[in-house]
Amino acid sequence: MAVQAVYFSDKDGLDMALKHPETLLFTNKADADARDRILELSEEIREFLTRKVEGLDEETADRCALAIAENKDLFQKALKKPQLLNEEAAEN
Tell me the C-alpha distance between 81 and 84, whole Å.
Answer: 6
| pLDDT above 70: residue 90 | no
The radius of gyration computed from the CA coordinates of the chain, to the nearest angstrom, equals 16
Domain ranges for the chain: 35-91
What are 12-44's pLDDT values in tens digits?
888 988 998 888 899 999 999 999 999 999 999
**pTM score, two decimals?**
0.79
**Cα angle 13-16-21, degrees, rounded to a multiple of 5:** 110
The pLDDT score that the predictor gives to residue 92 is 60
| pLDDT above 90: residue 3 | no
Q: Which residues pair with 26 in a beta bridge?
A: 7
Tell me the C-alpha distance between 69 and 73, whole Å.
Answer: 9
For domain 35-91, the CATH architecture is: Orthogonal Bundle (1.10)
The overall average pLDDT reported for the chain is 91
Confidence band, pLDDT 50/70/90 cuts, at residue 45? very high
